């Protein structure tokens, strides 16, 4: 049995309509006889037979539209008898398919709602809207000043927040630093002030009495650029808070003096002792040895890798002492010495500067009493160490004596480390430094 | 490092690549005996001979076809258009042939051809000699589009273009040719496609540019800095492939963006960048993205009108201020 | 109208084996094209479908004379025959026409963009006149490398009115590039007769205007084509200079499916004209020539016929059984994966 299919008559044709059957069932057909006339979207054309035989069955009635490739009739070759079975029924005319116009006649009646009251939409910049959402602010209470159309911008949100804070008692955040009014920068420069909103900057500079800002610009080094980028990123994305703790260092200094008298060629520094104290404290409080990940998870590190801030002529570098939790004070001291030497020589490898989970920055040797350091992302905390300076203390017996006091400041990422945890950690560091023999184990 | 002009850096890149690979040859109008209309190819025909520095008739279709056909069978042609304005008659060879042959052949043919030449306004060259039309090429899948802004970049990006196995549209701005800058002399110095350069860091507004507009935007940024507005100026370097990540990272920081181009503003490349910022950093925006572009007119001849048709520092400054308002 | 006969091969060097191979190739092309028509009407193919019925001698007389690989061929959108003559597997050709991943362009090119680079076939081209500037580049590359290869570039009478063709031919004449231009003059650019499109009908003169030697030959006689091409190829290989062959021919079908199906070609051609040209059918002429010289029996002809039909049928079955390209290949091949 030979199938006759709806032919594709042109590149765009997908379906065709049988206009009329020229040949009918039982008619004899020769090659090239016109069997039927079909209508395409472009023209009416005959279908010529490609094979001879007898038109056995017509499957598609006149007027019906079928897709290209649909079998529309059967021819059986001359000299054979058409079987009676196995043929599909012809396609009926009428309402087959869902695209008949009837389908549109039964549109259900739609409820007519009362007209909606239209409000003037609040103009809010996308980031201002997002900030308000995240902080739970009511946008309708914020005055918009942007774009000449009263759009609420990021600056407006910041202004609102400032006003809110000024209008109330000092923020009741337990982590607020007790002694430092404004954290001072460590070795790295302060982040550019432009990162903060600058509503007042333009008018101030536009005033006629503005001082000149003449000077020379120089290209900055790769290292300086990296410092700038990382510190800005840190201060802009990490909610810092600061905890200051005084530590009495008399016993620690005495111990170091004794140790170093025995082995003057392997001098252990105050910094080594502090790193060791931090390593022990981090073992006790592993929730400080963590990162806040971009996926908004907290990653707790199994190893304690402590970075040591080293100032060089080029700028700040932070070589990392790996796995301090399992190292003795002498090991830490020897490794730190080697790394600091390499840092000053500019010979650190990238591996030696990565992988830190906590950092220590010490400016005590310069007489700095205390300071707050910028967290080194992705770490969660950094300890800033000031100088051990003599202070006159009142004794219990009513007399006075001088003690060596050192102030250490812990900068914490509030997303991971709360005030309570930070305080406990610092207490532990102090306990260890004031009882330094435990660090020799 | 050596200080040299943009066109010298380009010539150095050509010389190095021709010395490195015997399949590299140049063809174009007046590039040999005449030494190049902008002297880019000066001395090269004497050095490499007339087959490798092929002077052609004024036949843009023929030049584009010659380069495309030679690339299809393994050579690495560098075809010069005396200006990109003249490439319009070759559009069928560039767009219908070079750009598509790899795809049409199911990856069985490579077409490592570089089409290069000057773009942009000259000095009163009027309507038919002042175009770039980079957005036309960037619109076409299969073409890489490069628009270097500095002497070092023109060298590094040209060498990458020659070594790329795809057709590359390489656009040199006439105003950049005489500009000097430090250029690495290392013959293996290349700059990868699809890596934008942050030419100036700033926290307030992201300013996106390429080609000649990079310098314009840097000057504007200097002036704005005196008002206390810090622009972060990004040089896209290549339009295809496009390094949106650098742009988006910056916009997420600054919350504001100005996208610039010298070519006609209507349906220009800046519109594409702006649209992608809206799509991919909408929640970070604090103001509508601003566009700076040329006036939508055929380039007029009169000096004052020509100047008015081209974007300047003042246009960038105004756009930046609008985003800060 | 008396049937045209074939002249004794001028060179007299042709052997029976080669003659039978030419015959078989032309029959393959004809049967292949007929089958594409059926398959198009079944909805198995898209696009336009430009068939080569009637023009077989232009390919059969040329391609077997080439050194493949080494020489190159560029064709037009009427390119099925060129692929088959180059030796591209008919299965890969049929699969390409059906948009299957096993097609010679992975289903991305289709009827107008058949291609087979390892066999020197640099593809069809959907743009009238498009391959001629490309041929300049291929010819230049041959000259650049200093080999004696040849680039054969096919195009139609319609292309002779495209500006780029003349730019390209001028450059080939100027640089003396080893290109054999074959003008398939089938008298009609789509539906427009050369009489209605062309001011100067002497196409050889136009080639000579660009410094390219040329001649006009009967493209309906495969042996005439073969002899001319052998002679001209030899000349190009020796001199490195281009040559232009205008081959007069006729397509027995419409320009494409558009005027095939609707017999729209009757708007621009008469039944009488078509019948006249069918008397010069290159396959029939070679068949009669071979029978008359006892080089072919009717039984052998039938054997060839059956063999060819089997090849075509296998190609169809292969193509129909092949999958379409995977959807994730949509963006593949926009650019070459870069390799240094």
Domain range for residue A157? 121-168
Weakest-pLDDT range from A185-189, A316-320, B254-258, C308-312: A185-189
In the beta sheet, which residues pair with residue B53? B26
Q: Which of C173, C88, C91 is nearest to C124 (CA)?
A: C88
Helices C298-321 and C16-41 sit at what angle, rounded to 10 degrees? 40
Query: Taking CA B67 as the corner, what is the angle to CA B61 and CA B69, rounded to the nearest 5 degrees?
Result: 95
Mutate to test the interface with C, among A2, A10, A13, A31 (most CBs of C within 10 A): A10
Interface of A with B (CB under 8 A): 125-130, 146-148, 151, 153-155, 192, 194-195, 198, 201-202, 204-206, 213, 225, 228-229, 232, 236
Flag whether A189 is in a domain: no
Which residue from B59, B72, B102 is facing C122, i.e. has the nearest CB? B72
Would you say residue C296 lies in a domain? yes
DSSP string, B51-94: TTEEE--S-HHHHHHHHHHHHHTT-EEEEEPSSGGGGGGGHIII
| Exposed/middle/buried for residue C327 (C-beta within 10 Å: 0-12, 13-18, 19+) | exposed
Residues A292 and A362 both lie in one domain: yes
Instruction: Please report the residues numbered 241 through 260 in chain C whose beta carbons come closer than 8 angstroms to any beta carbon of chain A.
Output: 256-258
pLDDT value for A110: 47
Separation in Å, CA of B89 to nearest CA in chain A: 30
B2-183 CATH fold: Rossmann fold (3.40.50)
pLDDT in tens, B252-300: 999 999 999 999 999 999 999 999 999 999 999 999 999 999 999 999 9
Q: Which residue stretches of A141-269 are H helix?
A: 154-167, 201-206, 222-237, 250-262
Q: Which residue of C has its CA nearest to A3?
A: C42
**Do C261 and A9 make contact, defined as CB atoms within 8 angstroms?**
yes
Backbone angles phi, psi at A210, to 5 degrees: -60, 135
**Confidence grade of residue A163 (pLDDT, cut at 50, 70, 90):** confident
| Residue that wins the pLDDT comparison between A119 and A318 | A318
Given a cut of 90, is residue A265 above it in pLDDT? no
Neighbours of B127 (CB within 10 A): 12
**For residue A15, what are the contacts with CB-CB under 8 A and spacing of at least 6?**
A6, A65, A66, A67, A68
Window A:335-394, CB contacts with C under 8 Å: none
**Shortest CA distance to B24 belongs to which of B56, B51, B55, B64?**
B51
C137 touches B: beta carbon within 8 Å: yes
Distance CA A202, CA A206 (A): 6
Give the integer Cα–Cα distance in Å for C107 and C230.
35
Taking CB atoms and an 8 Å cutoff, what residues of chain B touch A229?
A: 201
Q: How high is the pLDDT of residue A57? A: 87
Residue C116 phi/psi, 5-degree rounding, is -160, 75
Give me the helix-helix angle, B60-72 and C163-175, nearest 10°: 70
A83 close to C (CB below 8 A): no
Record: contact A194-B203, CB cut-off 8 A? yes
Q: Best of C43, C44, C255 to disrupt the A interface by mutation (most A CBs within 10 Å)?
A: C43
d(CA A432, CA A421): 17
The secondary structure of B245-275 as a DSSP string is HHHHHHHHHHS-EEEEEEEESTT-HHHHHHH
Whether residues A422 and A350 share a domain: the answer is yes
The pLDDT score that the predictor gives to residue A204 is: 40
Total number of domains constituting chain C = 1
| Residue of C88, C94, C25 whose CA lies nearest to C317 | C94
Distance CA C62, CA C232 (A): 11
Same-domain status, A125 and A83:
no
Residue of C nearest to A68 (CA): C43
Rounded mean pLDDT of chain C? 94
- Residues from chain A that touch C42, judged by Cβ atoms under 8 A, are 5, 7-8, 68-69
Residue A104 lies in a domain: no
Q: Which of A33-42, A214-223, C249-258 has the highest mean pLDDT?
A: C249-258
Q: How many residues are present in chain A?
A: 441
Distance between CA atoms of residues C336 and B111, nearest Å: 9
For the beta carbon of residue A115, count every other beta carbon within 10 angstroms: 6
Neighbors of chain B with 3 or more C-beta pairs under 8 Å: A, C
Same domain, A420 and A315: yes
Q: In percent, how much of chain C has pLDDT > 90? A: 91
Q: Does residue B49 register a pLDDT over 70? A: yes
pLDDT of residue A188: 43
Chain B partners within 8 Å of C168 (Cβ) = 59, 61-62, 65-66
Q: Cα distance from B194 to chain A (closest Cα, Å)? A: 21
If you measure CA to CA, which chain A residue comes closest to B322?
Answer: A147
What's the domain range around C281?
A: 16-188+195-314
Rounded Cα distance between B238 and B5, Å, is: 20
Extents of the domains making up chain B: 2-183, 197-324
| pLDDT on residue B134 | 97
- Smallest CA–CA distance from A38 into chain C, residue: C262
Confidence label for B305 from pLDDT (cuts 50, 70 and 90): very high
The CATH architecture to which B197-324 belongs is 3-Layer(aba) Sandwich (3.40)
Residue B31 backbone phi and psi in degrees, to 5: -85, -20
Reduced to 3 states, what is the DSSP secondary structure of residue C154?
strand
Of C41, C256, C263, the CB nearest to A8: C41
Give me C300's structure tokens: 């052998």
- Choosing from A29, A64, A87, the residue where a domain stops is A87
CA distance C268 to chain A (A): 17
Of A42, A43, A69, the CB nearest to C42: A69
Could you say which of A87, A112, A133 is where a domain stops?
A: A87
Q: Which two tokens stand for residue C260?
A: 């095939």
> How far apart, in whole angstroms, are the C-alpha atoms of residue B148 and residue C290?
66
Q: Rounded to an integer, what distance in angstroms lies between the CA atom of residue A134 and that of residue A132?
A: 5
Dihedral sign, CA of C44, C45, C50, C56?
A: negative
Contact C115 B141 (CB under 8 A): no
More confident residue, C220 or A67: C220
d(CA A195, CA B204): 7
Nearest to A359 by CA among A383, A385, A338, A325: A383
* CATH code of residue A343: 3.30.559.10
* Percent of chain A whose pLDDT exceeds 70: 78
Residue C48 sits at the vertex; the CA angle it makes with C43 and C51, to the nearest 5 degrees, is 100
A127 vs B284: CB contact, 8 Å cut-off? yes
Q: Does residue C211 belong to the interface with chain B, where contact is any CB pair within 8 Å?
A: no
* DSSP label at residue A85: S
Cβ-contact B95, B86 below 8 angstroms: no
Question: Per-residue pLDDT for C2 more than 90?
Answer: no
Tell me the CATH number at C37.
Answer: 3.40.50.970
Q: Is B139 a catalytic residue?
A: no
| Shortest CA gap A147–chain B (Å) | 5
Residues of chain A with Cβ-Cβ distance to B250 below 8 Å are none
Between B70, B103, B108, which is nearest C334 by CB? B103
HEC letters along A87-140:
CCCCECCCCCCCCCHHHHCCCCCCCCCCCCCCCCCCCECHHHHHHHHHHCCCHH
Q: Which is higher by pLDDT, A99 or B139?
A: B139
- CA atoms within 13 Å, Cβ hemisphere of B124: 5
Residues A81 and A127 in one domain: no
Does pTM surpass 0.90?
Answer: no
Cβ–Cβ contact C266 with A under 8 A? no
In C51-90, the residues whose Cβ lies within 8 Å of chain B are 72
- Written as six digits, the tokens of C167 are 């730019």
CA distances from B283 to A130, A154, B155, B256, C37 (A): 7, 11, 38, 11, 56
By C-alpha distance, the chain C residue nearest B57 is C171
B188/C contact by beta carbon, under 8 A? no
Reported as half-sphere exposure (CB side, CA atoms, 13 A), residue B47 has a value of 15
* Bridge partners, residue A408, by sequence: A245, A385
Nearest CA in chain A to B198: A225
Return all residues near C321 (Cβ < 8 A) that are at least 6 apart.
none
Contact B102 C168 (CB under 8 A): no
How many structural domains does chain A have?
3
> Which residue from A6, A8, A42 is facing C40, i.e. has the nearest CB?
A8
Return the CATH number at A34: 2.40.50.100
Which of A138-152, A168-182, C222-236 is predicted least confidently?
A168-182
**CB-nearest partner of B105 from C113, C138, C334:** C113
CA distance A82 to chain C (A): 23
pLDDT, one tens digit per residue, over C171-218 is: 999 999 999 999 999 999 999 999 999 999 999 999 999 999 999 999
Q: Tokens 């290549």 — which residue?
A: B238
How many other CB atoms are there within 10 angstroms of residue C307's CB atom?
Answer: 13
pLDDT of residue B6: 97
CB A408 within 8 Å of CB A270: no
Q: Look over chain A and give the mean of its residue pLDDT values, rounded to a whole number.
A: 79
**Which has the higher per-residue pLDDT, B177 or A50?**
B177
Q: Does residue A18 lie in a domain region?
A: yes
CB contact under 8 A, A228 and B201: yes
The pLDDT of residue A80 is 63
The CB density around residue A156, as the number of other CB atoms within 10 Å, is 25
Q: Tell me, yes or no, if C46 comes closer than 8 A to chain A by beta carbon.
A: yes
Q: What is the mean pLDDT of residues A364-370?
A: 89
Query: What is the mean pLDDT of the segment spanning B301-314?
Result: 95
Report the distance separating Cα C260 and Cα A68, nearest Å: 17
Q: Give the Cα separation of C247 and C58 in Å (integer).
A: 7
Average pLDDT, chain B: 96
Look at C122 and B74 and tell me if their CB atoms are within 8 Å. Answer: no
pLDDT band, residue C4 (cuts 50/70/90): low
Any domain includes A382? yes
pLDDT tops 60 at residue A203? no
Q: Partners of C121 in the beta sheet?
A: C73, C116
Assess whether the previous peptide bond of C69 is cis (omega < 30° from 0): yes
Q: Which residues in chain B have Cβ-Cβ distances shorter than 8 Å to C141?
A: 69-70, 73-75
Look at residue A261 in the predicted model and tell me its pLDDT. 84
Residue of B nearest to C123 (CA): B105
**Can B173 be counted among the known catalytic residues?**
no
| Alpha-carbon gap, residue A130 to A132, rounded angstroms | 5
CA-CA distance, A247 to A281, in Å (whole number)?
A: 15
C113 vs B: CB within 8 A: yes
Gap from C333 CA to chain B (nearest CA, Å): 5
**Number of Cβ pairs closer than 8 Å across A and C?**
40
CB neighbour burial string for A280-306, b if at least 16 within 10 angstroms, e if fewer: bbbeebeebbbbbeeeeeeeebeebbb
C-alpha distances out from residue B199 to B102, B216, B270, Å: 35, 12, 18
Residues sharing a CB contact under 8 Å with residue C56, sequence separation 6 or more, in sequence order: C25, C26, C29, C30, C81, C222, C282, C283
What's the pLDDT tens digit per position in A408-431?
A: 999 999 999 999 999 999 999 999
Higher pLDDT, B3 or A349: B3
Contact B106, C109 (CB under 8 A): yes
Chains that touch C (3 or more CB pairs under 8 A): A, B
């Amino acid at each position: 049995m030979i199938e006759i299919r709806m032919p594709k008559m042109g590149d765009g044709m997908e379906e065709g309509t049988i206009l009329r059957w020229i040949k009918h069932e039982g008619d004899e057909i020769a090659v090239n006889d016109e069997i039927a006339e079909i209508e395409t979207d472009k023209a009416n054309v005959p279908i010529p037979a490609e094979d001879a035989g007898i038109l056995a069955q017509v499957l598609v009635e006149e007027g019906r539209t079928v897709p290209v490739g649909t079998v529309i009739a059967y021819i059986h070759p001359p000299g054979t008898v058409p079987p009676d079975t196995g043929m599909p029924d012809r396609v009926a005319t009428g309402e087959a398919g869902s695209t008949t116009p009837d389908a549109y006649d039964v549109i259900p009646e739609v409820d007519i709602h009362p007209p909606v009251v239209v409000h003037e939409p609040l103009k809010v910049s996308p980031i201002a809207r997002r900030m308000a959402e995240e902080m739970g602010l009511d946008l309708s209470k914020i005055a918009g000043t942007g774009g000449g159309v009263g759009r609420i911008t990021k600056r407006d949100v910041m202004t609102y927040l400032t006003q809110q804070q000024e209008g109330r008692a000092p923020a009741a955040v337990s982590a607020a630093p007790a002694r430092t009014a404004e954290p001072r920068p460590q070795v790295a420069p302060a982040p550019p002030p432009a990162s903060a909103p600058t509503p007042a900057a333009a008018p101030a500079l536009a005033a006629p009495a503005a001082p000149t800002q003449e000077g020379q610009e120089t290209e900055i080094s790769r290292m300086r650029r990296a410092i700038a980028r990382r510190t800005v990123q840190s201060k802009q994305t990490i909610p810092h808070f600061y905890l200051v703790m005084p530590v009495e260092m008399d016993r620690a200094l005495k111990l170091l003096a004794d140790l170093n008298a025995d082995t003057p060629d392997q001098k252990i520094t105050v910094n080594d002792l502090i790193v060791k104290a931090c390593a022990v404290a981090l073992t006790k409080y592993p929730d400080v040895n963590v990162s806040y990940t971009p996926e908004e998870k907290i990653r707790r590190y199994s190893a304690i890798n402590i970075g040591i801030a080293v100032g060089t002529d080029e700028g700040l570098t932070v070589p990392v002492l790996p796995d301090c939790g399992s190292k003795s004070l002498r090991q830490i001291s020897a490794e730190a010495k080697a790394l600091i030497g390499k840092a000053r020589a500019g010979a650190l490898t990238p591996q030696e500067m990565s992988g830190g989970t906590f950092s220590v920055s010490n400016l005590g040797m310069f007489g700095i009493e205390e300071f707050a350091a910028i967290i080194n992302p992705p770490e969660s905390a950094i300890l800033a160490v000031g100088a051990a300076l003599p202070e006159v203390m009142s004794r219990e017996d009513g007399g006075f004596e001088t003690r060596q006091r050192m102030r250490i400041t812990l900068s914490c990422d509030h997303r991971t480390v709360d005030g309570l945890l930070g305080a406990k950690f610092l207490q532990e560091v102090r306990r260890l430094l004031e009882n330094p023999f435990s660090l020799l184990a | 490092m050596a200080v040299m002009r943009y066109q010298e850096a380009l010539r150095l890149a050509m010389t190095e690549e021709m010395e490195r690979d015997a399949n590299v040859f140049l063809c174009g109008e007046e590039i040999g005996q005449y030494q190049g209309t902008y002297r880019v190819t000066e001395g090269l025909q004497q050095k490499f001979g007339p087959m490798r520095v092929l002077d052609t008739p004024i036949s843009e279709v023929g030049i584009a076809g010659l380069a495309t056909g030679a690339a299809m069978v393994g050579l690495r042609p560098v075809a010069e258009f005396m200006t990109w304005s003249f490439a319009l008659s070759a559009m069928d060879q560039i767009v219908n042939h070079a750009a598509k042959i790899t795809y049409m052949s199911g990856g069985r043919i490579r077409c490592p051809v570089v089409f290069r030449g000057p773009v942009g306004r000259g000095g009163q060259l009027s309507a038919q000699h002042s175009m770039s039309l980079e957005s036309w090429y960037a619109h076409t899948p299969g073409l890489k589009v490069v628009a270097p802004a500095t002497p070092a970049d023109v060298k590094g990006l040209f060498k990458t273009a020659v070594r790329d196995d795809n057709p590359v549209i390489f656009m040199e701005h006439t105003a950049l040719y005489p500009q000097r800058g430090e250029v690495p002399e290392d013959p293996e110095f290349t700059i990868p496609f699809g890596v934008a350069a942050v030419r100036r860091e700033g926290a307030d507004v992201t300013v996106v540019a390429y080609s000649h507009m990079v310098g314009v935007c840097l000057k504007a940024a200097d002036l704005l800095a005196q008002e206390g507005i810090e622009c972060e100026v990004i040089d896209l370097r290549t339009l295809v492939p496009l390094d949106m990540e650098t742009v988006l990272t910056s916009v997420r920081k600054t919350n504001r963006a100005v996208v610039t181009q010298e070519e006609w503003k209507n349906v220009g490349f800046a519109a594409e960048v702006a649209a992608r910022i809206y799509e991919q950093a909408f929640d970070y925006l604090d103001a509508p993205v601003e566009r700076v572009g040329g006036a939508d007119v055929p380039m007029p001849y009169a000096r004052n009108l020509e100047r008015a048709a081209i974007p300047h520092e003042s246009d960038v400054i105004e756009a930046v201020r609008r985003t800060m308002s | 109208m008396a049937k045209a006969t074939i002249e004794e091969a001028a060179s007299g060097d042709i052997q029976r084996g080669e003659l039978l191979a030419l015959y078989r190739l032309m029959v393959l092309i004809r049967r292949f094209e007929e089958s594409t028509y059926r398959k198009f009407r079944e909805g198995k193919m898209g696009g336009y479908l430009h068939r080569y019925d009637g023009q077989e001698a232009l390919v059969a007389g040329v391609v077997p004379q080439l050194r493949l690989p080494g020489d190159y061929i560029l064709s037009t959108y009427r390119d099925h025959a060129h692929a088959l003559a180059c030796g591209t597997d008919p299965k890969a050709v049929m699969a390409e026409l059906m948009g299957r991943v096993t097609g010679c362009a992975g289903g991305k090119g289709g009827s107008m963009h058949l291609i087979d680079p390892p066999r020197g076939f640099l593809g069809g081209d959907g743009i009238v006149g498009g391959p001629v500037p490309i041929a300049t580049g291929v010819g230049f590359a041959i000259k650049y490398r200093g080999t004696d290869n040849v680039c054969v570039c096919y195009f139609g009478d319609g292309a002779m009115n495209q500006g780029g063709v003349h730019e390209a031919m001028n450059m080939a004449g100027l640089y003396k590039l080893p290109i054999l231009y074959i003008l398939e003059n089938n008298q009609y650019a789509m539906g427009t007769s050369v009489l209605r499109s062309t001011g100067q009908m002497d196409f050889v003169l136009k080639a000579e205007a660009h410094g390219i030697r040329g001649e006009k030959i009967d493209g309906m006689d495969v042996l005439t084509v073969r002899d001319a091409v052998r002679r001209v190829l030899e000349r190009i290989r020796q001199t490195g200079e281009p040559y232009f062959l205008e081959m007069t021919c006729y397509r027995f079908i419409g320009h494409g499916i558009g005027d095939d199906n609707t017999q729209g070609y009757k708007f621009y051609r008469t039944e009488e004209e078509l019948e006249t040209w069918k008397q010069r059918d290159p396959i029939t002429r070679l068949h009669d020539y071979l029978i008359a010289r006892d080089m072919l029996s009717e039984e052998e002809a039938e054997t060839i016929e059956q063999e060819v039909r089997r090849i075509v049928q296998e190609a169809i079955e292969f193509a129909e059984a092949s999958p379409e390209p995977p959807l994730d290949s949509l963006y593949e091949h926009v650019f070459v994966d870069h390799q240094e």
